[in-house]
Chains A and B, each alone.
Chain A
Amino acid sequence: MLASYKWLCELAGFAPDPKELEEKFTFSGLEVASVVHRKSEFDHIVVAEVVEKEAHPDSKKLSLVKVSDGSAVLPIVCGASNCPLPGGRVVLAKEGARFGDFVIEPRKVGGYESFGMLCSEEELNLGPDSDGIIVLEGVDASLGTPIAEALQLEDWIFELEVTPNRPDALYHRGLAREMCLLFDKPFAPTERPAAPLASGKTSDVIHVTVENATGAPRYAASVVENVTVQASPFWLRYRLHNLDIRPISNLVDMTNAILMEYGQPLHAFDLDKLAGKKIVVRNAAEGEKMRTLDDVERTFSTDDLLICDGAKPVAVAGVMGGLDTEVSNETRNILIECAYFNPSNVRKTSKKLKLSSESSYRFERGVDPNHEPEVLAAANAMVCELSGGKAREGIVDCYPKPIAPIEVIFRPSRYAAMMGHQISSAQMVKCIEGIGAEVTVDGENYIVRIPTHRPDMEREIDVIEEIARVTGMNQIEAMLPQIQCQIPRRGAFENVKRAKECLSALGLMESVTYSFVPKEILRSLGVGDELITVANPLNAQRAAMRTTLFAGLLENLKRTHSRYMDSFAQFEVAKTYHSSNAELPTEVVRVAAVLDGYVGSWVSESSRRYDFYDAKGIVDSFCCAMTGRSPDFTVESGNVAMHPKRTLAVSVNGVTVGVLGEIHPAVLKELKLSSGAVGFELDLEMLCAQRAVATAVPLSDFPPMARDVAVVADEAQDVGPILAAFAEAGGDLVTGVKLFDVYRGEHVEKGKKSIAFSVQYRSFEKTLTDKEVDMIHQKAVSSVSEQYNVQLR
């Protein structure tokens, strides 16, 4: 909402310091986003008179003029076609005048010296007119008078952020009322003199029928005859221009000026174009059509409220007028509509038509249903003043069920209880009355009659809010409440935090990705069925709610590669979304990671790439850290996202919690990534549910004995079972089997591999002798060699 300080002062009857007004507005709930002071931009720009005018010898466009600013006569080269003859008054920008970065100084134009510039409205940002220079008429100012003074241009334009509960702050009278309240002055704006009357009553020339009084609780109209459509006077055009409203003609400008003064949208119809001198307010027929002012044909349904004449729709109630009955330069008689439409109806129609206007914006927020006669009187007066017309006597007014101000019971003690703040009841009453409400005291209770220009105020708390905001919230003393001790219920939250801490400690970087991802990536990851999708996505390509965290992590990986980095180790702890029969989809908290590229290595150590075993090791450590249990791994081959031979299902305490392994090369290929990336994805809640309490074990005081074994096995023989079998065969004295080498190459037959591991024996009862250990060890070696067909090296 843009507001003119000058206009506010006229209505409020006093002129505070603009800076102070800005502060007061902001701290009473009308945040001032910016203030533009219109003055210094007009420095060095003055009233001047043309004293000579000659055609430029070589250019048809330019003329050579001499202008007087009262003290000197300056030669100017002027490019405007409407440059007046000697005696005409113009606006001269002299040396030093600024237009943005452009500064006026003497220069040659078309080969002739020019000491300044004759300005157009647009150049001075006084209006939209860029067709020619300003020719001053009827301006009573001596030559050389600064233009800001001659045209009274100084103003401060306030940009206010008006919240949806304050329709009263969307117009100047409401703001002036607020201003008076904040500066403790009475609000008593002067009214316009009444419009001159034509003969006959309004009701003689127009008949209004409202068929849907719920949609249009009040429909009022007046008629002004014998208008002359022309441009509005400068002050009005300048005022509207400053409020970012394009001046059009006196009739249209009047409706906008009234809108900005009273917050009441008006619509002016060309009375002679209304068939049958009739207005019918009714719901549209299904599929009914009309072309609106913006020259778009609209189609309506039965929920939409239309204003019609005797034959056809002429406006969409509260939203926009029709093109056919628009006022034009030939208009002689007008009907001015001033109505109160149901906010919710207007909003529905405006949303459906995707057509929002200044009018619909205000009706949605609620205009005053009880000021229509006053507004029409002001509109009539203004039209007559601007166009020379005369108003018919009276208005037509369909208002079958008047909307009465509501009464709210307010307890001053409740203010103190809610705000923790003591003020006198006299001060409270002053605040309440300042917004236009009436207060009757009834014992402990105050009965507050809320004015209908504040439709947001319906309850005691709304009255409390008004007092608080007007008094100022910075006045209220801050204090800490007593907070009760409670049993925390944030286990799931702490689990997520622990998971993030744990994976950070394991060397991974946390990432945060969008919950919505492309469908295609989920499809290629094999989880693209029964997706939850966003109905109105910002980007149609990213409309699917993820069913796996791999989607976002792989996109990160791709982005990382595209930015010339070749080391990637990121995890994410977040939700995936799965369709369900319940009211809401199922959300699962998961933890996932993707690793790819080079593992950081030190100076002369050989570098290597992340592989399957990194993922496996991290999952192992992570599960232990989160649950106190080691995970079990089983081969998983049916997962579309994962390599068929390099993937494990992860289970903890017998419960499958997720998967780890190499991402399927086909998935990576689709993302234009090379193969080799590994990762894991686990259900965090399921994992954490397996948490075990740690138990200590007895410790042996006797020394261990170690034996190394190297066996040769077929390439296809997995190492895991051999180690497990050895531990089993060695019996209770085996306290550890540690693999230290898997070797292929020289001295090992092709197609075979050498597996070397170290076995630790230890007793709880005594120091073992070599002989005892050798015996057990040999037995275990031969048992395992036989079982797995491996040869001792």
Chain B
Amino acid sequence: MDPKEIIEQLQLLTQQFVASLQNQSTEQAIRDLQAAYLSKKGKVGELQTSLGQVEPSQRKEVGQAFNKAKQTIVQSVTEAIDGLVKRAEEAYLNAHFDVTLPGRAPAQGHMHPLSIVMYDIVDVFTSMGFDVAQGPEIETDEYNFAKLNFPDDHPARDMQDTLFIEEGKTLLRTHMSPVQIRSMLERPLPVQVVAPGAVFRRDDDPTHSPMFFQIEGLLVDKGIHFGHLKGVLNTFLYQIFGEDVQTRFRPSFFPFTEPSVEVDIQCIYCKGKGCRLCSQTGWIEILGAGMVDPNVLEGVGIDSEMYSGFAFGLGVDRVAMLKYEGITSIKLFYENDPRFLERFRR
């Protein structure tokens, strides 16, 4: 066979291959095309069978032509595939993508705002070395009142409107103080606890809920004095409302503490200028506290000459309403409307 003719045909096949390569859009199609030319039964392969018929002196030349053609085909295949990958990469990088669709978040629950605030408060005290104490919500009159220095038929009992289970015997605790009594009876001295929990009063209007949450605290040890009460409560208030919050202590009365105080913080909204929230006074009452009354200590068998202590209490609902803006009624906490609750995700 005429070597020249073979070489020409080979060139024609190469050109043909390169031309049809342009039409291939997948790697597989390119590979298939390559096989259609280069495999044994492919177009180039079949032509190569004619090599045997070429004059031996000319075989070298024709053989080289075959090698060159194969090289060209393989190289153009590599290039075409590279090009294809590159185009795909570019297309992926440039394709429009809607980032405004919502994220696909796993179901996310969260705690109730009252729990969040309660744990925040408890954490401050546990970090100072206080433990957590608990007790029954249905209490005896003895623990809720008598042991707290509320005499029978004393007007101090009017300070807390009580829900009774059995009048004079059992009731829904009106404050967390019975847990203080239980702590002093059950724990070794020094007693250093906070008691968070639900309390109940016979009160129901936009600013009062018949059930609400309180945290009370107690520290009884030798040498505890009123300056310590101020130090611990100031530290607590700085942690919850910020280091720059101002506090003031006003004398007050609670049957179970003597002396007793009420603690105000400077209004966190108007910073003391006076606004609706603080009734124009610039101050907001936040805590009740005092030195544990000697009658209370003696009532649980603690020598009031040797030991002294301070106690305090605050409303969790109230702190939550101060910390989070926009809570217009205490009732919102107990309605559990999902739209309200989900504002407190964190």
- Give A contacts to B, CB under 8 Å: 26-29, 31, 163-166, 343-344, 347-348, 364-365, 417-421, 459, 461-462, 464-465, 468-469, 473-474, 476-481, 483-486, 488-490, 492-493, 497, 500-501, 503-516, 532-539, 545, 556, 559-560, 563, 565, 567-571, 574-575, 577, 583-585, 587, 599-600, 602-603
Contact = CB atoms under 8 A, between A and B. Distances in A.
B334 A481 contact: no
A128 B198 CA distance: 46
A511 B344 CA distance: 12
Given A468-B226, A584-B136, A510 B200 contact: no
B286 interface: no
Given A484-B192, A506-B107, A514 B134 contact: no
Nearest to A28: B251
B251 A534 contact: no
B271 to A, nearest CB: 19
Contact of A490 (B131, B202, B253, B260): B131
B255 to A, nearest CB: 8
Contacts of B137: 515, 575, 577, 587
Taking chain B's interface residues, is the majority helix, strand, or loop, or is none over half, making it mixed?
Answer: mixed
Interface residues of B, number: 88
Identify the interface centre among B155, B166, B262: most chain A CB within 10 Å of its CB. Answer: B155
B103 to A, nearest CB: 9
Interface in B113-163: 114-115, 119, 126, 128-134, 136-140, 152-156, 158-159, 163
Contacts of A468: 226, 251, 259
B230 interface: yes
Nearest to A494: B132
B225 interface: yes
Nearest to A556: B336
Contacts of A560: 336-338
A481 B221 contact: yes
Interface stretch (B17-25, B68-76, B231-239): B231-239
Interface in B300-346: 308, 333-339, 341-342
Ranked nearest first, the 4 interchain pairs of A and B with the lowest CB-CB distance are A507-B107, A420-B227, A29-B251, A163-B253
12 contacts: A164-B159, A344-B153, A469-B251, A476-B226, A479-B231, A490-B131, A504-B110, A509-B112, A512-B333, A533-B165, A538-B203, A556-B336
A532 B165 contact: yes
B41 to A, nearest CB: 36
Contacts of A365: 155
Interface string B209-240: 01100000001010111111011101100000
Given A163-B252, A497-B119, A515 B200 contact: yes
B166 A465 contact: no
Nearest to A484: B190
Given A164-B253, A481-B232, A512-B336, A421 B227 contact: yes
Contacts of B131: 486, 488-490
B250 A31 contact: yes
Interface of B: 101-102, 104, 106-112, 114-115, 119, 126, 128-134, 136-140, 152-156, 158-159, 163-167, 170, 172, 187, 190, 192, 196, 198, 200, 202-204, 210-211, 219, 221, 223-228, 230-232, 234-235, 248-253, 258-262, 291, 293-294, 308, 333-339, 341-342
Given A476-B227, A600-B107, A538 B294 contact: no
Contact of B253 (A165, A532, A570): A165
B156 A584 contact: no
B156 A164 contact: yes
A464 B259 CA distance: 8
A48 to B, nearest CB: 36
Nearest to A458: B295
A57 to B, nearest CB: 51
B134 A493 contact: yes
B317 to A, nearest CB: 10
B136 A483 contact: no
A509 B248 contact: no
Given A29-B251, A459-B294, A486-B129, A510 B111 contact: yes
Contacts of B293: 461
Contacts of B337: 559-560, 563
Given A513-B334, A535-B167, A418 B155 contact: no
Contacts of A567: 338
Contact of A511 (B107, B126, B133, B341): B341
A237 B40 CA distance: 127
A465 B200 CA distance: 30
Contact of A478 (B134, B172, B231, B261): B231
A481 B231 contact: yes
Nearest to A486: B131
B308 to A, nearest CB: 6
B341 A509 contact: yes
A568 B137 CA distance: 29
Contact of A577 (B115, B138, B139, B159): B138
B194 to A, nearest CB: 10
A565 to B, nearest CB: 6
Contacts of A474: 248-249
Contacts of B159: 164
A549 to B, nearest CB: 12
Nearest to A553: B336
Given A481-B219, A602-B102, 15 more contacts: A420-B226, A465-B251, A473-B251, A474-B249, A479-B228, A480-B235, A481-B221, A512-B336, A513-B334, A515-B211, A538-B202, A559-B337, A574-B198, A577-B137, A583-B140
Contact of A27 (B130, B251, B260): B251
A420 B228 contact: yes
B210 to A, nearest CB: 5
A536 B210 CA distance: 12
B236 to A, nearest CB: 11
Contacts of B129: 483-486
B203 to A, nearest CB: 8
B225 A584 contact: no
A571 B338 CA distance: 12
A469 B192 CA distance: 26
B107 A536 contact: no
Candidate in B114, B172, B225 with the most chain A CB atoms within 10 angstroms: B225
